[in-house]
Amino acid sequence: MSSAVDPVLVLVLLLNFYVVGTSRLHAVINGVALQGAVLGVLALLVHSGSVLSVLVALATILLKGLLMPMMLRRAMREASIRREVEPFIDYVPSLLAVAVATGASFAFARRLPLAPQHVGSLLVPASLATVGTGFLVLATRRKAITQAAGYVVLENGVFVLGVGLLEAMPFLVEVGVLLDLFVAIFVMGIIIYQVNREFASLDTARLSNLKE
């Protein structure tokens, strides 16, 4: 495993804070896109010289770094929204929550019975912290587009952990995970467009006001 893995994982963690700390949807999507591209590089660094890692890296950069952000941007343009307004938890408390989750992830990872090559690495704590960040965005943001971005961040955390087990996992499983995520974002984009066209709002809190 390359010595550049940990600096790349630090960048993944910093992008978690960037996604949580901005209200501009364009910036959120850019952060998610950059994180997806970084994960592609991570796959190459963890398993350098492996043909499987090259294929997974290319698929990751294509889907996570290019196609899915492009679909989210299109949904944002169709919905004519630019900012996340009045989240359930404001941005400063959200950043503090991510900081706490990141610290807790490092503490928890030290207690896990890890393989020798993963002891001292940031793979596991970065994975746990990124999953927690995705859950936070899903639970605290009102706009469906931001929630979709949060789902991508959550899956990115799962992917970080999967990178460490790449050689033991069939390539078909990795492609299946990426394809499932691609389809989920595609469907989310359609739903966002339809909801905005019919109800002129993407605030998910208003769903509680629906009556039979």
Q: What DSSP character marks residue 66?
A: I
Determine the pLDDT at residue 103: 94
pTM above 0.75, yes or no: yes
Q: Ranked by mean pLDDT, which of 127-131, 180-184, 202-206 comes out on top? A: 127-131
Determine the pLDDT at residue 124: 85
pLDDT > 60? residue 139: yes
Q: How confident is the model at residue 147 (pLDDT cuts 50, 70, 90)?
A: confident
Determine the pLDDT at residue 72: 82
**What confidence tens digit (pLDDT) does each residue in 38-67 have?**
998 988 887 776 777 788 788 888 888 888
Greatest pairwise CA separation for the chain in angstroms: 59
Q: Distance between CA 52 and CA 167 in Å, rounded?
A: 8
The phi and psi torsions of 191 (rounded to 5 degrees) equal -65, -45
pLDDT > 80? residue 207: no
